[in-house]
Amino acid sequence: MREKRNNNVYLLHILEAVQKIEVYLSNHTQEDFNKESWDQDAVSRNLEIIGEAANNLDTLFRDEHSEVPWRKIINLRNIIVHDYADIDLEIVWNIITEYLPHVKTEILKLHEEVHSQCV
């Protein structure tokens, strides 16, 4: 069994990946994103990181913070990794523009909470 997980480290990994996605897409429209495989690959990789970090959070921690859709985040990672050939760019765009900002806000709150408990 794994030693106690450092939830704050995983929260930071999520935040860093979200910020990278924001930078990649800061000057792109959905049309640009659909045409540019580099951006698609970069976004996909960072969505994988977000899902993997979420999966590595302590289960009790995730249960205590159900305001974050952990299962959906982890499932998205699994789809990207295992069903990569069937990824719908429209759905990915919707996720990163409509849902990711909310996730970021919630993760920032959790990070501040966890960080203040460690200090």
Active site residues per annotation: 77
26-37 burial, b for 16+ CB within 10 Å, e for fewer? eeeeeeebeeee
SS3 content of the chain, % helix, strand, coil (to 5): 80, 0, 20
Residue among 45, 43, 23 at smallest CA distance from 33: 43
